[in-house]
Structure 1
């Protein structure tokens, strides 16, 4: 049992590390070899989770939804919060007219938006720990009481599934904010309501 748990944990770490490496490559060809380099600690985050969404072109639809739903002030509070934010491509996959309809109904939109936000800090490291502790599964509760189940997908990526059975995979980790973290997902988790 311990061996299989260690295998699962090692697989998760390897998959998440590879995913992050491919997602965050840097151009190292522009370094001047005669200039000494120094290593500094990562800069402290300066934006809250709501501002992170607004500052990212790939998450502009999520930022608009947060504002239209009236949830922006909630996400500026102390936290910590973890936002599993659908990217713009995820919103584009909704049925025709669905997003426009939701944007005109702040109550339904708020339910949808809050179904992507949990209390607590769940960056990649915390998610791996929760999955290891839960033997491959972890359950989180959103800020309005919905359930999100975390598991490893058949593609060896982190998968979120809500109570309605809708799933999404995490495609970007650890956009750190002053009051939490934003992780990007590839689908909108529509609620049961």
Structure 2
């Protein structure tokens, strides 16, 4: 049943949402890039379940540390299912992946921490040419969007 709900949520990404002012993500926004990249299908489902599609399709600018499907796969299935079925907790976790403003990789590398949109700080460190956000490694930086920038990470950040 939960798998069916997840697949249904993914299918919605290509269909306009009815009511509530929600919309299909524009392809060059953060939400649009996530919606159009199969490596972010779990993130897309989470963003939709938390009601954040319109926000990440909005003006911004935002910096998003975007976990891949492989990052979500590191979370035990029961825990991930519980998170996906708790919109408030899910929203808090997702907003822990977002920093206000457009922060490029060059700027991130000069930081030791950043305050996320959920109000908590993440630790930023560099070692051997790798950038770490808490215990997550940035695997691809500077995916530019009309409303900000995405840095792809290999582990879901937990506040």
- The answer to whether TM tops 0.5 is yes
1:57 pairs with one of 35, 38, 60: 38
Tell whether 2:122 aligns with 1:151: no
Residues paired across the two proteins, number: 134
Q: Which runs of 5+ in 1 are unaligned?
A: 1-44, 132-136, 162-166
Correspondent of 2:79 among 80, 95, 98: 98
The normalised TM-score by structure 1 is 0.65
**Partner-residue secondary structure (3-state), 2:112:** strand
Q: Which residue of 1 aligns with 2:65?
A: 84
Partner of 1:119: 100
Q: Indicate whether 1:182 and 2:155 are aligned.
A: no
Which string of whole-angstrom CA distances, capped at 9 and with x for unpartnered residues, describes residues 33-80 of structure 1?
Answer: xxxxxxxxxxxx961111111111111111111111111111122111
Report the equivalent of 2:139: 171
Deviating beyond 4 angstroms after TM superposition, the runs of 4 or more aligned structure 1 residues are none
- Aligned CA RMSD, in angstroms, stands at 1.6
1:5-55 deviations in Å (ceiling 9; x for gaps): xxxxxxxxxxxxxxxxxxxxxxxxxxxxxxxxxxxxxxxx96111111111
Deviation by residue 1:172-191 (Cα, 9 ceiling, x = unmatched):
11111110011100001112
Q: Which has the larger radius of gyration?
A: 1
Equivalent of residue 70 in structure 1, options 51, 59, 70: 51
In structure 2, C-alpha distance between the alignment counterparts of 1:174 and 1:63, rounded to whole Å: 19
Shift of 1:138: 2.3
- Segments of 5+ residues of structure 2 without an aligned counterpart are 1-25
Are the aligned partners of 1:46 and 1:178 in contact in 2 as well (CA < 8 Å)?
no
